Amino acid sequence: MAVKIAPSILSADFVNLERDLQRIANADLVHVDVMDNHFVPNLTLGLPIVQRIVEVSPVPVDVHLMIEDADRWAPEFARAGASSVTFHAEATQAPVRLARELRSLGARAGVGLRPASPVEPFLDLLPELDMVLVMTVEPGFGGQSFIEGMLPKIRRTRQAIAQAGTGTWLQVDGGISRSTIARVAQAGADVFVAGSAVYGADDVAAEIDALRTLGST
Protein backbone atom coordinates (compact mmCIF):
# COMPACT_ATOMS: atom_id res chain seq x y z
CA MET A 1 0.00 0.00 0.00
CA ALA A 2 1.39 3.42 -0.95
CA VAL A 3 1.58 5.40 2.26
CA LYS A 4 1.37 9.16 2.56
CA ILE A 5 3.22 11.31 5.07
CA ALA A 6 1.49 14.52 6.11
CA PRO A 7 3.62 16.69 8.41
CA SER A 8 1.54 18.88 10.72
CA ILE A 9 2.53 22.53 10.77
CA LEU A 10 1.22 22.76 14.32
CA SER A 11 4.83 21.98 15.27
CA ALA A 12 6.33 24.40 12.71
CA ASP A 13 7.54 27.92 13.44
CA PHE A 14 4.48 30.07 12.74
CA VAL A 15 6.53 33.18 11.99
CA ASN A 16 8.64 31.24 9.50
CA LEU A 17 5.82 29.29 7.94
CA GLU A 18 6.93 29.63 4.33
CA ARG A 19 10.41 28.37 5.21
CA ASP A 20 8.92 25.47 7.19
CA LEU A 21 6.61 24.58 4.29
CA GLN A 22 9.59 24.44 1.92
CA ARG A 23 11.35 22.10 4.35
CA ILE A 24 8.66 19.44 3.80
CA ALA A 25 8.68 19.49 -0.02
CA ASN A 26 9.29 15.71 -0.05
CA ALA A 27 6.10 15.03 1.94
CA ASP A 28 2.85 13.93 0.30
CA LEU A 29 0.58 16.50 1.97
CA VAL A 30 0.84 19.27 4.52
CA HIS A 31 -1.56 18.90 7.45
CA VAL A 32 -3.04 22.16 8.72
CA ASP A 33 -4.78 22.08 12.11
CA VAL A 34 -7.55 24.67 12.47
CA MET A 35 -8.77 25.07 16.07
CA ASP A 36 -11.40 27.42 17.49
CA ASN A 37 -11.02 27.11 21.28
CA HIS A 38 -14.52 25.60 21.43
CA PHE A 39 -14.27 22.18 19.85
CA VAL A 40 -10.82 21.86 21.43
CA PRO A 41 -9.18 23.95 24.16
CA ASN A 42 -6.70 25.57 21.80
CA LEU A 43 -6.69 28.24 19.10
CA THR A 44 -4.50 28.15 15.99
CA LEU A 45 -5.20 29.75 12.63
CA GLY A 46 -8.06 30.43 10.27
CA LEU A 47 -9.12 30.93 6.70
CA PRO A 48 -6.84 33.83 5.61
CA ILE A 49 -3.72 31.97 6.69
CA VAL A 50 -4.90 28.75 5.02
CA GLN A 51 -5.47 30.71 1.80
CA ARG A 52 -1.83 31.87 1.89
CA ILE A 53 -0.55 28.40 2.77
CA VAL A 54 -2.34 27.02 -0.30
CA GLU A 55 -0.58 29.64 -2.43
CA VAL A 56 2.95 28.87 -1.23
CA SER A 57 2.87 25.20 -0.22
CA PRO A 58 4.96 22.82 -2.35
CA VAL A 59 2.51 19.96 -1.56
CA PRO A 60 -1.32 19.67 -1.42
CA VAL A 61 -2.96 21.08 1.69
CA ASP A 62 -4.86 18.74 4.04
CA VAL A 63 -7.04 20.80 6.40
CA HIS A 64 -8.07 19.28 9.74
CA LEU A 65 -10.93 21.28 11.21
CA MET A 66 -11.17 21.05 14.98
CA ILE A 67 -13.98 23.59 15.10
CA GLU A 68 -17.65 23.77 15.93
CA ASP A 69 -20.18 24.40 13.16
CA ALA A 70 -18.27 22.50 10.51
CA ASP A 71 -21.33 22.64 8.24
CA ARG A 72 -20.87 26.40 8.00
CA TRP A 73 -17.08 26.56 7.77
CA ALA A 74 -15.72 23.48 6.02
CA PRO A 75 -16.83 24.56 2.51
CA GLU A 76 -14.92 27.83 2.94
CA PHE A 77 -11.68 25.86 3.28
CA ALA A 78 -12.49 23.90 0.12
CA ARG A 79 -13.09 27.20 -1.68
CA ALA A 80 -9.70 28.37 -0.36
CA GLY A 81 -8.10 25.53 -2.34
CA ALA A 82 -7.48 22.84 0.26
CA SER A 83 -7.04 19.47 -1.44
CA SER A 84 -8.76 17.73 1.46
CA VAL A 85 -10.98 19.02 4.23
CA THR A 86 -11.66 16.90 7.30
CA PHE A 87 -14.52 17.90 9.58
CA HIS A 88 -15.21 16.17 12.88
CA ALA A 89 -18.10 13.76 13.22
CA GLU A 90 -18.93 15.40 16.55
CA ALA A 91 -19.16 18.88 15.00
CA THR A 92 -21.49 18.34 12.05
CA GLN A 93 -25.25 18.00 11.81
CA ALA A 94 -25.26 16.49 8.33
CA PRO A 95 -22.06 14.65 7.37
CA VAL A 96 -23.32 13.38 4.03
CA ARG A 97 -24.58 16.77 2.89
CA LEU A 98 -21.29 18.34 3.97
CA ALA A 99 -19.15 15.67 2.30
CA ARG A 100 -21.09 16.08 -0.94
CA GLU A 101 -20.65 19.83 -0.79
CA LEU A 102 -16.89 19.49 -0.26
CA ARG A 103 -16.63 17.11 -3.21
CA SER A 104 -18.65 19.44 -5.40
CA LEU A 105 -16.12 22.17 -4.56
CA GLY A 106 -13.28 19.91 -5.72
CA ALA A 107 -11.91 18.85 -2.33
CA ARG A 108 -11.54 15.40 -0.86
CA ALA A 109 -14.03 14.98 1.99
CA GLY A 110 -12.83 13.56 5.31
CA VAL A 111 -14.55 12.76 8.58
CA GLY A 112 -12.57 12.84 11.81
CA LEU A 113 -13.28 10.84 14.96
CA ARG A 114 -12.21 11.66 18.51
CA PRO A 115 -10.77 8.66 20.34
CA ALA A 116 -14.08 7.99 22.14
CA SER A 117 -16.22 8.29 19.00
CA PRO A 118 -17.21 5.06 17.24
CA VAL A 119 -16.44 4.59 13.56
CA GLU A 120 -19.36 2.22 13.01
CA PRO A 121 -21.98 4.88 12.14
CA PHE A 122 -19.73 5.97 9.24
CA LEU A 123 -19.01 2.56 7.75
CA ASP A 124 -22.20 2.63 5.68
CA LEU A 125 -21.23 6.11 4.47
CA LEU A 126 -17.80 5.15 3.05
CA PRO A 127 -18.91 5.72 -0.57
CA GLU A 128 -19.54 9.36 0.40
CA LEU A 129 -16.12 9.81 2.03
CA ASP A 130 -12.62 10.20 0.63
CA MET A 131 -10.94 9.90 4.00
CA VAL A 132 -11.60 8.71 7.55
CA LEU A 133 -9.36 10.24 10.23
CA VAL A 134 -8.95 8.13 13.35
CA MET A 135 -7.53 10.42 16.03
CA THR A 136 -4.88 8.60 18.04
CA VAL A 137 -4.69 11.33 20.71
CA GLU A 138 -7.33 13.70 22.05
CA PRO A 139 -7.36 16.53 19.51
CA GLY A 140 -5.99 19.89 20.53
CA PHE A 141 -2.24 19.68 21.00
CA GLY A 142 0.88 18.27 19.41
CA GLY A 143 3.39 16.13 21.23
CA GLN A 144 0.99 13.80 23.05
CA SER A 145 1.56 10.07 23.32
CA PHE A 146 -0.15 7.62 20.96
CA ILE A 147 -3.25 5.84 22.32
CA GLU A 148 -2.58 2.13 21.76
CA GLY A 149 -6.26 1.32 22.21
CA MET A 150 -7.02 2.88 18.81
CA LEU A 151 -5.41 0.01 16.89
CA PRO A 152 -8.57 -2.17 16.79
CA LYS A 153 -10.60 0.80 15.49
CA ILE A 154 -8.04 1.29 12.72
CA ARG A 155 -8.23 -2.42 11.86
CA ARG A 156 -12.06 -2.38 11.74
CA THR A 157 -12.02 0.70 9.54
CA ARG A 158 -9.52 -0.85 7.12
CA GLN A 159 -11.58 -4.03 6.90
CA ALA A 160 -14.72 -2.05 6.12
CA ILE A 161 -12.93 0.03 3.46
CA ALA A 162 -11.60 -3.13 1.82
CA GLN A 163 -15.07 -4.68 1.89
CA ALA A 164 -16.72 -1.56 0.50
CA GLY A 165 -14.04 -1.23 -2.19
CA THR A 166 -14.20 2.55 -1.97
CA GLY A 167 -10.47 3.31 -1.80
CA THR A 168 -11.17 5.69 1.09
CA TRP A 169 -7.95 6.89 2.71
CA LEU A 170 -7.44 5.99 6.37
CA GLN A 171 -5.58 8.75 8.18
CA VAL A 172 -4.15 8.66 11.70
CA ASP A 173 -3.17 11.74 13.68
CA GLY A 174 -1.43 11.95 17.04
CA GLY A 175 1.71 10.42 18.46
CA ILE A 176 2.96 9.10 15.11
CA SER A 177 6.74 8.64 15.16
CA ARG A 178 9.41 6.15 14.17
CA SER A 179 8.46 4.04 17.17
CA THR A 180 4.71 3.85 16.44
CA ILE A 181 4.26 4.11 12.68
CA ALA A 182 4.98 0.49 11.72
CA ARG A 183 2.27 -1.05 13.86
CA VAL A 184 -0.24 1.63 12.89
CA ALA A 185 0.52 0.85 9.25
CA GLN A 186 0.09 -2.86 9.95
CA ALA A 187 -3.32 -2.09 11.44
CA GLY A 188 -4.27 -0.53 8.09
CA ALA A 189 -3.64 3.23 8.15
CA ASP A 190 -2.24 4.73 4.94
CA VAL A 191 -2.03 8.49 5.64
CA PHE A 192 0.15 9.47 8.59
CA VAL A 193 0.10 12.88 10.21
CA ALA A 194 3.25 13.67 12.17
CA GLY A 195 3.91 17.01 13.82
CA SER A 196 6.51 16.88 16.57
CA ALA A 197 8.28 13.86 15.03
CA VAL A 198 8.91 15.72 11.76
CA TYR A 199 9.50 19.28 12.89
CA GLY A 200 11.42 18.17 15.98
CA ALA A 201 13.94 16.31 13.83
CA ASP A 202 17.34 17.78 12.95
CA ASP A 203 16.87 16.75 9.33
CA VAL A 204 13.20 17.21 8.50
CA ALA A 205 13.36 15.78 4.97
CA ALA A 206 15.23 12.68 6.15
CA GLU A 207 12.66 12.16 8.90
CA ILE A 208 9.82 12.21 6.35
CA ASP A 209 11.64 9.59 4.25
CA ALA A 210 12.34 7.45 7.33
CA LEU A 211 8.68 7.54 8.37
CA ARG A 212 7.56 6.63 4.85
CA THR A 213 9.93 3.66 4.80
CA LEU A 214 8.87 2.43 8.25
CA GLY A 215 5.20 2.90 7.36
CA SER A 216 5.44 0.92 4.13
CA THR A 217 4.20 -2.52 5.13
**Catalytic site residues?**
33, 173
Q: In the complex, what is the shortest distance from the CB of residue 166 to ligand DX5, in angstroms, rounded to a whole number?
A: 24
**Phi first, then psi: what are they for 73, rounded to 5°?**
-95, -30
Judged by CB under 5 A, which of 64, 153, 158, 212 binds Zn ion? 64
User: Which of the stretches 22-30, 96-104, 167-175, 205-213 binds ligand DX5 when contact is defined by CB under 6 A?
Assistant: 167-175
Q: How crowded is the C-beta side of 143, counted as CA atoms within 13 Å?
A: 7
Map residue 88 onto helix, strand or coil: strand
User: Which of the stretches 59-67, 69-77, 94-102, 178-186 binds Zn ion when contact is defined by CB under 5 A?
Assistant: 59-67
* Closest listed residue to residue 84, CA positions, set 114, 101, 106, 112: 106
Nearer to ligand DX5, 127 or 143 (CB): 143
**28-29-30-33 Cα dihedral, nearest 10 degrees:** -140
Separation of alpha carbons 35 and 26, rounded Å? 26
As annotated, the binding site includes 8, 31, 33, 64, 140-143, 173-175, 195-196
Residues forming the site for ligand DX5 (CB under 6 A): 8, 10-11, 31, 33, 64, 137, 139-144, 173-176, 193-197
